[in-house]
Amino acid sequence: MDLEMSKTQDALRLMREKGLTPYAAAKEVGITPTTLYAAIKREEAKGVITNCPCCGTLVPGEKINRDVLK
């Protein structure tokens, strides 16, 4: 069985893996940027994606090593 991700999930993956902006990722997969921004907010609320404390970009929460920030 071949499972496909939704367009929103594809856009989130492009942001994480290729470093695209939310606007560029949304346009590439064919959704509105508003849809992607809403998904980002939902993932931030779940703690999946957070802002990097150093540069402010969105990164997966598990990639931030809080021990080195002190």
Summarised one tens digit per residue, pLDDT across range 3-58 is 677 999 999 999 988 989 999 999 999 999 999 999 998 887 777 777 777 777 77
For the record, the structure tokens of 32 come out as: 């509105």
Who wins on pLDDT, 70 or 57?
57
Is 60 in a helix, a strand, or coil?
strand
pLDDT score of 32: 97
Structural domains of the chain in order of their starting residue, each with its CATH number: 7-69 (1.10.10)
